[in-house]
Amino acid sequence: MPRDELAAFDDDLLAEVGEADSGRLATLAREHQAGVRALPGVDDIVYEWRRTLPGEPLLYRSRALYVLALPGRVWLEFLERMEVTESEASALRELHGRQARRLLAAADGAPEPPAMTDALDADGAMVLTRS
């Protein structure tokens, strides 16, 4: 049975980041996750990004999720397809960034904090729920 698209996200972050409308942010996050799943699939797209993007975009993986640091152009492709406002795009990216930092801080086997912070500061964080 597939995992819920929002399984990788903490409810409190959805509420904090989406202060004005956390329901809308949850809908956008779910739509983004579904869009990744509709491509070749989560595992396949992560494999492709690891193979084709410069550097190592994968910062951490577990049986339930991936944490990646991706060039801004990858985010732009998703955001353009989703047709979100600038403030919605910003909130969605902030949600991913804050969740990525939280997950990496708590995860065994994740990069040391300076390496993680450098990667997330240079690129955009993306947290993907594995299906």
Instruction: Convert the pLDDT of each residue in 28-80 to its tens digit.
Output: 999 999 999 998 899 999 999 999 998 899 999 999 999 999 999 999 999 99
How many structural domains is the chain composed of? 1
Q: Which tokens hold the place of 34?
A: 């579904």
pTM reported for the whole predicted model: 0.90
Give the model's pLDDT for residue 117. Answer: 67
E-state strands within the chain: 58-61, 65-70, 124-129
Q: Is 3 a member of any domain?
A: no
> Do 130 and 12 meet the contact criterion of CB atoms below 8 Å apart?
no
Q: Are 110 and 104 in contact (CB under 8 A)?
A: yes
In this prediction, residue 80 carries a pLDDT of 93
Structural domain for 58, as ranges: 11-129
Query: Could you tell me the end-to-end alpha-carbon distance of the chain, in angstroms, rounded to an integer?
Result: 8
User: What span, in angstroms and rounded, lies between the C-alpha atoms of 25 and 70?
Assistant: 21
In a domain, 6, yes or no: no
111: left (phi over 0), alpha (psi -120 to 50) or beta: beta
CA-based nearest residue to 82, from 21, 38, 22, 129: 38
Q: Is residue 79 part of a domain?
A: yes
Residue 73 lies in a domain: yes
**Which pLDDT value is given to residue 113?**
58
Residue 56 placed within a domain: yes
- The Cα–Cα gap between 101 and 118 comes to 11
